[in-house]
A = this chain, B = another copy of it.
Amino acid sequence: MTGPTPPRAAAIAPGATIGIVGGGQLGRMIAIAAAQYGLRAHVYAPDPDSPAFEVSGARTVAAYDDAEALAAFARAVDVVTYEFENIPRRTAEILAGHRPLHPSAHALATTQDRLAEKTFVAGLGIATAPFRAVDDAAALAGAVAEIGRPAVLKTRRFGYDGKGQRMLRPDEALDPAAVMASLRGQPCILEGFVPFDREISVVAARTADGAFSAYDPCANEHRHHILARTVVPAPGMAPETAAEAVAVARTIADALGYVGVLAVEMFLVREAGGRSRVVVNEIAPRVHNSGHWTIEGALTSQFAQHVRAICGWPLGGTARLGAGVEMLNLVGDEAESWAALLAEPDSHLHLYGKGEARPGRKMGHVTRVKPGPGETRPG
C-alpha cells in the first residue's frame, strides 16, 4: 500500500495575483503574460522607475532585504516568482514563509552559487567544464596547476553578463594575489576552458506535477559577454544532439523539483567523428533572454508558460511557428534604430521602456519569424 498523496497547493484561478520580485524587462513580460490570462500582477522592486511597474496593477517600491515590505508583499499576492536569481537567501525564505515561491528557495540556492550549481550538475552525471573552488590566492594557484589555462575565474555569486569574471590566459604571467584582489577577494570558482563549437540553450518548463515541456534548443551568440543573437533551430545541430540537450534540461529540472521556466545554457562540443556532445555551462532559474523568440515564434511564449507552471496550470504547446526564428537584442544605443526596425514589415520590435540607453544595457529586442512549417521538436 502506498501512503496518502501529499497535499498539493490548489491551482491558482484567473483573478488571482502573481507577485513578481524584480522590475526589469523579464518581470515586465511576465506581467503582460499574466494579464492575458486575467491574472493581476504585483511587482516588487527597489527602483521607482522599474519597467515592470508600467504594466502591473500593484507595485511595491522597497529594498530586497526589507523584511517588513517583503512580508506585506507576499501576503498581498497568491503566488510569488522572480525575474532574477540574485535574490538573497533570507529574502527567499521570507517570501516562501507566506506564499508558494516558484521556483523554490532550493532551486535558487543551487543555481545562484556557481560552485553549488556545477557540483549539483556534475553530481547528476552531466558533463560540465572542469572546476575547482577558489577561496584565496593559494587555492587559485593550485586550481590553475590542476585545470590548466585558458581558464576563467568567476565569483561564485552575483555574476551576470560577464560581470565578476576574469579570463586567465596561458600566455600571461599569473599573479594569483592580484587576480583575487581584482575580484575583491570574493569566493570564486575556476572553470576550465571548454573548446566549444557553439553555445546553445534549452528553455523549458516543469510543473509541480512533473509535467515537462521544452522549446527547440536555440543557438546563442554573445558580444562582450552579452547575448546578441539567438537563432532557432540551432544551425547544424543534429536531432539526436537536440534530444540529448532537452533530456539534460529535464534531468536538471526533475532533480531540482523545479516549478516554472528555466534555461540551461550549454556548450556544443564537436567530437572526433563529427558528433557533438553537450556540456552544461549554467542554469538560469527563470525566464531567459534566449527564450524571447518564443513570444512570436512558438505556440506559447516562455512568459505565458512560466505563468502556467507557477499557477499549477497545464503547460501550453511549445511547437515552433515558422521554419526558423531569429532574435536580436538591442543593447545600449542599438535601440535608437527603433524607427527603421518598425518599418520592416516582418520584424517584431520589443522595447522595455527603459529611460537611459547606457552601454551594455538591454533596451529591447527584435524577433523575425521565417515563414514555413515548424519542425518537430525533439523533446
Contact = CB atoms under 8 A, between A and B. Distances in A.
A contacts with B: majority SS: loop
A97 interface: no
A323 to B, nearest CB: 11
A64 interface: no
Nearest to A340: B314
B32 A55 contact: yes
B364 A38 contact: yes
A351 B314 contact: no
A181 interface: no
Contact of A349 (B37, B299, B364): B37
Interface string A343-379: 1011001111111000000001000000101100000
Contacts of A57: 53-55
Interface string A15-39: 1000000000000100110011111
How many copies of the polypeptide does the oligomer hold?
A: 2
A299 B345 contact: yes
A100 interface: no
Interface size grouping (class) on chain A: 35 or more
Contact of A343 (B53, B314, B343): B314
A321 interface: yes
Contacts of A351: 14, 36-38
Contact of A55 (B15, B35, B339): B35
Given A39-B353, A41-B54, 12 more contacts: A11-B339, A14-B338, A15-B355, A35-B55, A36-B351, A37-B350, A37-B351, A38-B352, A38-B354, A55-B57, A317-B346, A321-B321
